[in-house]
Amino acid sequence: MPTAESPVSVIRPPAAESIIHELTFPELRRRHEAVLFDAYGVLVNASGALPGAGATIADMRRDGQPFLVVTNDASRSPRRAAERLSRLGIPVEPEHVLSSGMMVGPALQAHGLAEGRIVVLGTDDSAQYVRDIGATVVDPVPDDPADAVVIADEGSIDLIDSLDDILSMILEAHHRGRMPRLILANPDLIYPSGVRRFGFTAGSFAHLVEKALHLLLHEEAPTFEVLGKPSPVHFNAAIELIGTRDVVMLGDTLHTDIAGAQGVGIASAIVLTGVTTRATALAAREVVPTYLLEGLAQA
């Protein structure tokens, strides 16, 4: 891609040394070899495709510029995620999707749990990430502790009952001296469901479990191993897959998208079509994006 830089507005956040460059997406993509897109808040929300998303991805594909959709949504397989985006007019193929759910199997294998009994909070696609490595998905039974608990998605039919059983199972396992491994695929606390509309997601429920465990077990309380953004696990997988470090992460959330990119030393852009407002972005002190975009629309 061309390396010449376009004129941009420069914003200096209050009490911060870093400078945020405000620009449009066409200007941004000329500055980097490849692009990583968050899904919710950048390409879509629960109401559908966001303005400019379809044209942006179509232009990337036409020009052969590498990109990935790096999403904390662990509720869908790459195929289903790509199908949904395509139905919304965003021409994505399964190979363009890197979800946090794809990190679950390798993490379980690394802990020697490829043949383990695993509780999965999430959809059937969430559970399939575990089945794909040969592990067995089981229900959370308080009197029969599993080897690991994976919180992947909030899409459980009986969410509160499941959380109650998971908490009781972990406490029983602690009593027996064999604590299960706790894994969090999607650490997002909320997601944008529409204009000024938000919903709770998996990270909020993992936080709830951790708080309860700390209340009951104090310093012996276990915590969740985080696999999705901002974890370097997710970002390093994206960098390896896309094949370059000259890449920029576009996201709508400072503490996941921007902090994660900053943590692995790549550029980032906060997009103002999701969780983060302009005022919040400019007030950031430690997690400061490289760029600021109003959105993907060209207007």
CA-to-CA distance for 194 and 46, rounded, in angstroms? 6
Cα separations in angstroms, 85 against 40, 109, 188: 11, 30, 20
Question: Is 208 within the bounds of a domain?
Answer: yes
Question: Is 147 within the bounds of a domain?
Answer: yes
Q: Are residues 122 and 204 in the same domain?
A: yes
Question: Is 232 within the bounds of a domain?
Answer: no
Give per-10-residue mean pLDDT for the chain (299 aa).
39 50 94 96 91 96 98 95 97 97 97 97 95 96 95 81 94 94 93 75 94 96 96 97 97 94 97 91 90 86
The count of structural domains within the chain is 2
**Pseudo-torsion of CA 63, 68, 71, 76, nearest 10°?**
90
The residue among 191, 226, 261 that closes a domain is: 226
Question: Is 236 within the bounds of a domain?
Answer: no
The residue among 226, 254, 272 that closes a domain is: 226
Q: Are residues 272 and 199 in the same domain?
A: no
Domain that holds residue 286: 245-299
Q: Are residues 161 and 116 in the same domain?
A: yes
| H/E run at residue 10 | strand 9-11
Dihedral sign from CA coordinates of 222, 225, 226, 232 = positive
pLDDT of residue 238: 98
Question: Is 141 within the bounds of a domain?
Answer: yes
Q: Are residues 215 and 294 in the same domain?
A: no
pLDDT of residue 132: 97
Cα separations in angstroms, 183 against 35, 104, 130, 195, 212: 28, 8, 12, 31, 16
The SS3 of residue 208 is helix
Question: Is 132 within the bounds of a domain?
Answer: yes
What lies within 8 Å, CB to CB, of 279 at 6+ separation is none
Question: Do 132 and 120 contact (CB within 8 A), yes or no?
Answer: no
Burial bucket for residue 31 (CB in 10 Å: 0-12, 13-18, 19+): buried
Question: Is 291 within the bounds of a domain?
Answer: yes
Q: Are residues 199 and 161 in the same domain?
A: yes
Of 108, 85, 109, 50, whose CA–CA distance to 297 is shortest? 50
Q: Are residues 265 and 196 in the same domain?
A: no
- Model confidence, pTM: 0.87
Q: Are residues 134 and 186 in the same domain?
A: yes
pLDDT of residue 283: 87
Q: Are residues 194 and 281 in the same domain?
A: no
Question: Phi and psi of 40, rounded to 5°?
Answer: -70, 130
Q: Centre a 10 Å sphere on the Cβ of residue 98 and count the other Cβ atoms it contains.
A: 22
CATH code at position 188: 3.40.50.1000
Find the DSSP H helices in 67-103.
78-87
pLDDT of residue 8: 39
Q: Are residues 249 and 180 in the same domain?
A: no
Question: Is 36 within the bounds of a domain?
Answer: no
pLDDT of residue 159: 84
Q: Angle at which helices 159-176 and 202-217 pack, to 10 degrees? A: 40
pLDDT of residue 198: 81
The residue among 226, 258, 281 that closes a domain is: 226
Q: Are residues 203 and 114 in the same domain?
A: yes
